[in-house]
Structure 1
Amino acid sequence: MPFISTKTNVTVSKEKETQLKERLGQAISILPGKSESWLMVAIEGDVPMYFRGDDSQPIAFVDVKTFGGAPRNAYDKMTTELTGIYGDILGVAPDHMYIRYFGSGDWGWNGSNF
């Protein structure tokens, strides 16, 4: 049950949104037991954002939430992959994005909890 949420100051066209969704769907399998078949994605573009007091460069904040957690090395690989995805599609430099991981044992779906 992964959820990847993106906030960026970049304008995200439908084409870029589709590219992000597809690439994130492939990348989620880096985390053990996770797959695109359970992935939910939210993308917010044109968000007023500042990094180091500056809003002139592409910026992104990416939240990756999962049921359970993953080993540190999987998060390391995921960060490398996500950095490439957001660089390729939105032009965000690696030093202008934060990626946060959060694993939880409390996750609800379809009227009950896992």
Structure 2
Amino acid sequence: MPYISTKTNIAIPKEKEIKIKERLGKAISILPGKSENWLMLSFEGDSSLYFQGKSDKPIAFVEVKLFGKSGGEAYDKLTSEISKILKEELSIDPGQIYVKYEEVSYWGFNGSNF
């Protein structure tokens, strides 16, 4: 049950959103036991974000939440892939991207919890 939320201070054209969606759908399989079948995504472009006190460059904050746990090596690989995707699709430098991971013990779906 992964969820990836991407916020950026630049506009995300619909065609880029679709491409990022597709690429994140493949990238989530880097985490053992996770797949696009249960992946939920959200995108917020033109957000009011500041990094190092400035908002003059494209920046992004990405939150990855998942039911259960994974390991540091898998998170490192996913962070690298997310950074690559945002660099290639939105020209956001990896040095301007934060990725936060949150492991969740309880996750509700379809009226009950896992």
Shorter-chain TM-score: what band?
A: over 0.9
Aligned-residue CA RMSD (Å): 0.6
Counterparts of 1:52 and 1:71, CA distance in 2: 29
Give the structure-2-normalised TM-score: 0.98
- The aligned residue for residue 62 of structure 1 is 62
- The aligned residue for residue 25 of structure 2 is 25
Aligned residues: 114
- The aligned residue for residue 8 of structure 1 is 8
| Stretches (4+) displaced over 3 A | none
The Cα of 1:51 is off from its aligned counterpart by: 0.7
Q: Structure 2 regions of 5+ residues with no counterpart?
A: none
Give the structure-1-normalised TM-score: 0.98
Q: Structure 1 regions of 5+ residues with no counterpart?
A: none
The Cα of 1:74 is off from its aligned counterpart by: 0.3
- The aligned residue for residue 95 of structure 1 is 95
Counterparts of 1:50 and 1:113, CA distance in 2: 36
- The aligned residue for residue 50 of structure 1 is 50
State whether structure 2 residue 38 is matched by structure 1 residue 38. Answer: yes
% of aligned pairs identical?
A: 55
- Partner SS, residue 46 of structure 2: coil
Letter in 2 for 1:2: P
The Cα of 1:28 is off from its aligned counterpart by: 0.2
